[in-house]
């Protein structure tokens, strides 16, 4: 799964010109030329999102609608979540599994409805940009003719995140005020049809807004005209999701990692564990019962430089037990934080390990994830 194919010209999103006009530094990501940062830089963009509202172009992600006679039941053939009982108007996180129980991608799937509760139409799926071609091929191959996949390649995806995001967005989209975390609604705002979820990849309250490509510029500029809103690049998107303890596919998750190892057991519903009817169920049920061979840990680096992807993790005695899969500097905590995998059993919060940075061991404390508390709106 290359995030930076050199054999193909980079694609652009409908907001490419808007990024250039804002002075963005553009980089290749997931086959697209994307803004890694704007003029203020990663640190300020990160803190702005935690304090106000940040707007993100995530149009590289794959959007599609799955339809069929029983699309929810069919979808369960490739994921371990309970989708048959997914309520209309709700979104659910899940993982696409290979037959060994390894993660092909992580995704959001939902049943968007309008404010009257109608408009339910199959399953709306959002997957990672770098994985989307393979994901939709896997879904098509595994599910066969029982579902059709309509790719939404003519839609942009804009995320508005942060404590002031809701007030800004609800001004233009009053229907969004009735939504709580993981609700999904069809609505008309900015003169176009939107698919809106109250969720995101920062740990903050906010919305992800699927918008027709031709209206993306207008929606982006209208939202950005609010003084609470600044544009945020992929650099800060990465540091925000890391503070929120969320895995990044291709770094923390890959085809060898099971959802149990990754600490995503919440995505394996009880009825599915009993039915054992998803890909790799034998491995996953065994890991749930006995503990997986390796486990995901969250580490605060107590001294020295931030530990980055690839840094070894050693126990207190100096024996290498694992590796950092995502790591960096936390702008909120003002210290290094990291996600990594170590040999099981899972170390308790408070345990002291070492991260090896440029050959030197540095003390790191096992902590509970997330590093920075989530601030989702679960009740109105």
Partner 1 sequence: MRFTKDHEWVEVDGDVATVGITAYAAEQLGDVVFVETPDVGKTVKAGDGFAVVESVKAASDVYAPISGEVVEANAALGDAPETVNAAPEASGWFAKVKLSNPAEVDALMDRHAYEAYLQTL
Which residues of this protein are in contact with partner 1, per CB under 8 A? Answer: 36-37, 41-44, 46, 235-236, 238-239, 304-306, 308, 328-329, 331, 336, 358
Q: Which is nearer to partner 1, 56 or 329 (CB)?
A: 329
State residue 298 phi and psi, 5-degree precision: -105, 130
Cβ atoms 348, 261 nearer than 8 A = no
What is d(CA 128, CA 351) in angstroms, rounded to the nearest whole number?
33
Q: Which is nearer to partner 1, 37 or 63 (CB)?
A: 37
165: part of which helix (H) or strand (E)? helix 165-172
Please report how close the Cβ of residue 27 comes to partner 1 at its closest, in angstroms.
Answer: 10
Q: Which is nearer to partner 1, 153 or 303 (CB)?
A: 303
What is d(CA 40, CA 37) in angstroms, rounded to the nearest whole number?
8
Please report how close the Cβ of residue 237 comes to partner 1 at its closest, in angstroms.
Answer: 11
Please report how close the Cβ of residue 255 comes to partner 1 at its closest, in angstroms.
Answer: 26
Q: Which is nearer to partner 1, 67 or 251 (CB)?
A: 251
Strand 184-189 to strand 155-161: parallel, antiparallel, or no bridges (unpaired)?
unpaired
Please report how close the Cβ of residue 46 comes to partner 1 at its closest, in angstroms.
Answer: 7
Q: Which is nearer to partner 1, 44 or 286 (CB)?
A: 44
Cβ atoms 265, 288 nearer than 8 A = yes
E strands present in 261-303: 294-301
Cβ atoms 36, 54 nearer than 8 A = no
Q: Which is nearer to partner 1, 129 or 328 (CB)?
A: 328
How many helices (H) and strands (E) in the chain?
9, 19
Q: Within 10 Å of residue 274's Cβ, how many Cβ atoms?
A: 9
Please report how close the Cβ of residue 60 comes to partner 1 at its closest, in angstroms.
Answer: 18
Please report how close the Cβ of residue 12 comes to partner 1 at its closest, in angstroms.
Answer: 22
């Amino acid at each position: 799964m290359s995030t930076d194919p050199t054999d193909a010209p980079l694609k652009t999103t409908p907001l490419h010109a808007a990024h250039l006009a804002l002075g963005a530094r553009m980089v290749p990501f997931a086959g697209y030329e994307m803004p890694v940062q704007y003029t203020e830089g990663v640190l300020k963009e990160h803190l702005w999102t935690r304090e106000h509202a940040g707007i993100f172009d995530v149009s590289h992600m794959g959007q599609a609608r799955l339809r069929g006679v029983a699309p929810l039941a069919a979808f369960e053939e490739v994921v371990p979540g309970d989708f048959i009982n997914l309520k209309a108007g709700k979104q659910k996180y899940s993982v696409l599994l290979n037959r060994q129980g390894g993660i092909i991608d992580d995704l959001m799937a939902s049943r968007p409805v309008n404010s009257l509760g109608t408009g339910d139409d199959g399953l709306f799926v959002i997957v990672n940009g770098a994985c989307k071609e393979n994901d939709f091929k896997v879904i098509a191959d595994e599910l066969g003719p029982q579902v059709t996949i309509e790719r939404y390649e003519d839609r942009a995806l804009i995320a508005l995140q942060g404590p002031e995001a809701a007030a800004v967005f609800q001004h233009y989209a009053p229907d969004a005020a009735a939504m709580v975390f993981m609700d999904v609604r069809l609505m008309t705002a900015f003169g176009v049809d939107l698919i809106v979820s109250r969720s995101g990849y920062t740990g903050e309250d906010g919305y992800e807004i699927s918008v027709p490509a031709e209206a993306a510029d207008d929606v982006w500029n209208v939202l950005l005209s609010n003084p609470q809103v600044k544009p945020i690049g992929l650099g800060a998107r990465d540091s925000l999701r890391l503070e929120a303890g969320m895995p990044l596919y291709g770094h923390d998750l890959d085809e060898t990692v099971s959802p149990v190892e990754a600490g995503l057991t919440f995505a394996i519903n009880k009825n599915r564990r009993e039915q054992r009817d998803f890909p790799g169920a034998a491995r996953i049920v065994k890991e749930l019962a006995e503990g997986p061979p390796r486990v995901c840990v969250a580490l605060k680096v107590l001294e020295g430089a931030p530990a980055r992807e690839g840094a070894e993790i050693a126990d207190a005695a100096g024996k290498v037990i694992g590796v950092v899969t995502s790591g960096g500097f936390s702008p909120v905590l003002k210290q290094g934080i990291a996600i990594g995998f170590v040999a099981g059993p899972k170390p308790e919060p408070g345990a002291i390990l070492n991260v090896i940075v440029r050959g030197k061991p540095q003390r790191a404390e096992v902590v509970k994830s997330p590093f920075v508390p989530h601030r989702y709106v679960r009740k109105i």
